Structure formats: structure tokens, C-alpha cells
Structure 1
Amino acid sequence: MLDKSDWGHLIPHQGTMCLLDTVVAWTAESIHARTDSHRRAENPLRSDGTLRAVHLCEYGAQSMAVHGALLARDAGTGAAPGFLVSLRAVNLALARIDELAGPLDVFGERLLGSEASWQYAFRIEHAGAEIASGRAAVMLVQE
């Protein structure tokens, strides 16, 4: 298990915008992260005190950022910055997530990766039940 202090500085999401708390496990193809940030009043995605399930897409996207950063670190480089450009086949099992007791488990699976873009499938679970899934694409900034 990797605490945020191990990888948090590797991604652009800082402070309360870094929604993931720990990396439970990761391989070259996948990542499993865990978080309680959905229950925090200072979650920057809240609107009128509510955190909607659509924001789970950001949790999935952040798992991609952490995974890419860990891969780059292992390769002795830094991860290129990127922009989320596409969400597809998103399924949400509920309307809001701020009232869920206990942590969220965030899973990301790398489908394609190149120097120009990444594509991942993501899945978020609460108490062992899937509450969101989808696919996301990131275009990397070439410097």
C-alpha cells in the first residue's frame, strides 16, 4: 500500500483536489486506489453541499494520473501532463455519493498507452458493489 505522501507530488492534482488517499496495489496494467474524500466537506467538487455521482469520472481520471506517474517514476522519468478529452460508456448506479459511509475503491485498467495518449477503463466500488464505470482518454502534452 502506498500513502499519498509517496505519490501525491507526482501528479498535478494538489491539496483537496487530490481525491485519492492511498494506492492499494498497482501493476504495469492496472491500479487500485482507495479514498474517503467523498465524505469530506471540503471536497472541491461539492455543489450546494452535495457531491454528485457524475464526479466519480474525476476519481477514475485521477487513478489514471497516479498510475501514469508511478509508471513514469519506475522508468526513471516524469509523467507528461495531459488533458482528459473523452469519456465513454459511463454508467452510474446512483445520483449522489456524499452520503455513502465508508471508503470508495477506485480501479483503473490501462487499455492503450503511447507517448501521445492513454486510454483506461475505470470502475468505482463502494462496499463491494459497483457504483460507476466507464472509459476515459487523455491526450498528453508534448513538450
Structure 2
Amino acid sequence: MHGDAPIDRARIAALIPHQGDMCLWDEVLAWDAQTIRLRAMRHRDPAHPLRSGGRLRAVHLCEYGAQAMAVHGGLLAAAGGGCAAPGVLVALRGVQLRRARIDDLPGDLVCEARQLVASAASQQYGFRITHAGELLAEGRAAVVLQPQADVP
């Protein structure tokens, strides 16, 4: 894994397009060329941007998984001296949700994501999100990367 210290929310926000409250991850716990492990604490926040009807539903864990991909891509690009290309989520596959909601969970959410396929045009990751060792969600997500304009 890269680095000795966790990566904080400010550094995460510098790596991904999701800003403010829509930056869902609070900390990168560990990462390497194929995997990333992150932690989130704000799923209990009544002002969470994905809440509706006073609840944060488990289906939103798919967004947490997709953002884990974005953070990992940003870290890989930064390690290579560049910036990650912006991506568009195009598919979710094999998603299994084990709960209806997550705003009532007292502890942190932890995501482990693994890069399955990567090219200059697209990426696919598998993700698993847990709470206190309990599996909440798992699945695969695919992103099509957008070409970056050349900077003169």
C-alpha cells in the first residue's frame, strides 16, 4: 500500500469532481495500484445531500462505490504526475444491497474497491461496503473516461 498516513477529506476533494457535501468519503485508509480502502462517517448527518424523506437509502451505496473508483483513479494519476480524466458512470452490475437504509448505522462505512479492468477509455471496479464487519453492499461499476483537451 502507498503511504504511511491516511489521506484526508481535503486531499480526496482535490482528486475528484465531487465537491462540498457531495464528496462522500472522509478518509483513504490504504491504497495500491489495484485496490483502495476508504472510510466515511457522515452517513448519519441529517443534511446529507442524498437523503430523501429523512432517510439515506442503501441504494446510494452505489454512489459511494463509484466515488471510491474516482478517488483511486485520482491517486493513480497523481502518483504518475498527472490528473485523472473525468469519467461518466455507465453501468452497475451484480449489485446486492443487504439493508434498506444506512442513516441509522452508528459506526463508519468502509469501502474496499478493486480495479478489474482499466484502459485509456474505460475502467471497471468491484466494490464492497461494510459497517462494523457487516456487508452492506457489493457490486461492479463501469466508467467511460472522457478525453481531456490538450493544454497548449
TM-score range, shorter chain: over 0.9
5+ long unaligned stretches in structure 1 = none
Please tell me whether the aligned partners of residues 12 and 27 of structure 2 are also in contact (alpha carbons under 8 angstroms): no
- The corresponding residue for 2:17 is 12
Rg (Cα) greater in structure: 2
> What is the aligned residue count?
143
Cα deviation, 1:70-116, whole Å, max 9, x if unaligned, reads: 00000001000000000000000010000000100011100011110
- The corresponding residue for 1:114 is 119
Give the C-alpha shift of residue 6 in structure 1: 2.2
1:28-47 equivalences under 5 Å are 28-47=33-52
Give the C-alpha shift of residue 135 in structure 1: 0.2
- The corresponding residue for 2:55 is 50
Under a length normalisation based on structure 2, what TM-score does the superposition of the two structures give? Answer: 0.92
Under a length normalisation based on structure 1, what TM-score does the superposition of the two structures give? Answer: 0.98
Please tell me whether the aligned partners of residues 73 and 84 of structure 2 are also in contact (alpha carbons under 8 angstroms): yes
Provide the C-alpha distance between the structure 1 equivalents of 2:119 and 2:42, rounded to a whole number of angstroms. 30
- The corresponding residue for 2:90 is 85
| Deviant stretches of 4+, over 2 Å | none
1:101 aligns with 2:106: yes
Q: What is the percentage of aligned positions where both structures have the same residue?
A: 57
1:123 aligns with 2:132: no
5+ long unaligned stretches in structure 2 = 1-5
1:141 aligns with 2:141: no
1:7 partner SS: helix
